[in-house]
């Protein structure tokens, strides 16, 4: 395989930078379209909790100056881009003086651990089911039973999450209702902590896997049907190769390419978390953190989370685009 052309590599990197810039700009504009002042709303919540906030007007003015909200919007925008270029995400408006990057650092491992496992399981199970459904030599009994596994695909994942909580948490009491690990467990790289994390993450992961693997299965089934009449499959059969080898090395391998692209996009988007599932289970991930930022009008927190999501997704697209020739030798970026 020849190396990538320098011109193509430069264009892809520039497209990556342009994508991140456009996404960051949108994240700057959208929160400011919401009505109200986030600093005034924060002081109002403080007053509601304590009953009274002394010198509230001076406090609002000083905090607006601290966060740069007293400056003109163009100045805020330039300062915002400069901070993002150095990954300085600023302070949280609602949890000052905690920095946004510290909040993200606490929540990101929970989301990456949960959604990466759930996405990979959904990808493997869904594509396996779709490949068997689209393969003409699949036994008829298996072909009849496999669609049963896709029954919950049409159900929104948050509705399935509510059902799982009701049945397995409240009803059978087999799993906890919420949280990332037990309250009596000390965080650390110990078997007790790891087993508690897996135990608490089982229901959220099941809600995501069960409802999402059907989309992988349907896509894989269509690609398997498309490749069924290709010349390389006819040649493999004519050579007398084992059915298992024809299935995996010839049919599945070639049908998987669009699915790999979808997997890259999914893995790039996991840092944003699954907001509704994490909210329902009170799971301490990025989705739950984003929900708190939206409810509390925390501009800097919303911008920080969305910026990480934009960079991760754009980077995933860039990487999969560059490694595609490794997956399929027929693909080349040379003229």
Range list of H helices, 2-139? 6-33, 38-50, 56-66, 73-85, 100-134
Q: What is the pTM of this model?
A: 0.73
Which residues, at least 6 apart from 165, have a Cβ–Cβ distance to it below 8 Å? Answer: 177, 203, 280, 281
Distances (CA, A) of 270 to 10, 43, 91, 110: 27, 33, 23, 11
Estimate to the nearest angstrom the gap between the alpha carbon of 318 and the chain centroid.
Answer: 17
Three-state DSSP class for 99? strand
- Report whether 293 contacts 278 (CB < 8 A): no
Please give the Cα distance from 77 to 28 (Å, whole number).
7
Please give the Cα distance from 25 to 317 (Å, whole number).
19
Three-state DSSP class for 225? helix
Distances (CA, A) of 26 to 1, 29, 218, 277, 318: 39, 5, 33, 25, 21
- In percent, how much of the chain has pLDDT > 70? 82
Task: Report the pLDDT averaged over residues 146-163.
Answer: 77
What single string gives the DSSP state of each residue in 143-158? Answer: HHHGGGGGGGGGS-HH
- Report whether 115 contacts 208 (CB < 8 A): yes
59 closest CA partner among 75, 44, 79 = 44
Per-residue tokens: 98: 């905690």
The pLDDT assigned to 152 comes to: 74
Per-residue tokens: 192: 């007790």
pLDDT for residue 248 is more than 70:
yes
Domains in the chain (CATH in brackets) are: 1-94+299-335 (no CATH), 100-295 (1.10.3720.10)
Task: Report the pLDDT averaged over residues 256-285.
Answer: 75
Three-state DSSP class for 91? strand
Per-residue tokens: 321: 């685009």
Per-residue pLDDT band for 294 (boundaries 50, 70, 90) equals confident
Q: Roughly what angle, to the nearest 10 degrees, separates helices 299-327 and 6-33?
A: 160
pLDDT for residue 270 is more than 70:
no
Per-residue tokens: 160: 């399935």
Residue 65: phi and psi, rounded to 5, are -70, -35
Task: Report the pLDDT averaged over residues 223-237.
Answer: 78
**pLDDT tens profile 57-107:** 676 677 677 767 777 878 888 888 888 888 888 778 777 778 888 888 888
pLDDT for residue 269 is more than 70:
no
Per-residue tokens: 158: 């948050």
Tell me the CB-side half-sphere exposure of residue 307, using CA atoms within 13 A: 24
Give the chain's mean pLDDT.
78
Please give the Cα distance from 244 to 32 (Å, whole number).
57
- Report whether 297 contacts 34 (CB < 8 A): yes
290 closest CA partner among 27, 9, 25, 20 = 27
pLDDT for residue 127 is more than 80:
yes
pLDDT for residue 48 is more than 80:
no
pLDDT for residue 53 is more than 70:
no
């Amino acid at each position: 395989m020849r190396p990538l052309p320098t011109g193509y590599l430069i264009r892809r990197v520039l497209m990556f930078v342009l994508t991140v810039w456009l996404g960051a700009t949108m994240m700057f504009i959208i929160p400011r379209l919401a009505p109200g002042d986030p600093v005034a709303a924060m002081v109002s919540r403080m007053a509601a909790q304590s009953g009274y906030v002394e010198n509230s007007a001076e406090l609002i003015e000083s905090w607006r100056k601290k966060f740069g909200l007293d400056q003109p919007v163009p100045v805020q925008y330039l300062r915002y881009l400069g901070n993002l270029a150095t990954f300085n995400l600023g302070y949280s408006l609602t949890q000052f003086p905690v920095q946004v990057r510290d909040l993200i650092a606490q929540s990101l491992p929970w989301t990456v651990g949960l959604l990466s496992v759930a996405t990979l399981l959904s990808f493997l199970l869904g594509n396996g089911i779709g490949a068997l459904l689209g393969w003409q030599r699949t036994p008829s009994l298996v072909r009849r039973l496999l669609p049963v596994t896709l029954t919950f695909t049409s159900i929104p994942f948050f509705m399935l999450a509510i059902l799982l909580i009701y049945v397995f948490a409240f009803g059978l009491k087999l799993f906890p209702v919420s949280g990332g690990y037990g309250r009596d467990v000390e965080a650390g790289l110990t078997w007790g902590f790891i087993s508690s994390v897996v135990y608490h993450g089982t229901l959220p992961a099941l809600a995501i896997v069960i409802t999402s693997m059907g989309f992988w299965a349907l896509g894989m089934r269509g690609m398997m049907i498309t490749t069924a009449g290709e010349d390389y499959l006819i040649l493999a059969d004519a050579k007398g190769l084992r059915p298992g080898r024809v299935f995996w090395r010839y049919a599945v391998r070639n049908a998987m390419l669009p699915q790999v692209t979808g997997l890259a996009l999914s893995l790039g988007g996991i840092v944003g978390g699954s907001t509704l599932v994490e909210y329902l289970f009170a799971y301490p991930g990025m989705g739950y953190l984003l929900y708190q930022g939206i409810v509390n009008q925390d501009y800097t927190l919303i911008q920080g989370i969305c910026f990480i999501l934009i960079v991760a997704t754009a980077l995933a697209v860039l990487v999969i685009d560059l490694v595609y020739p490794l997956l399929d030798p027929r693909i080349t970026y040379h003229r």
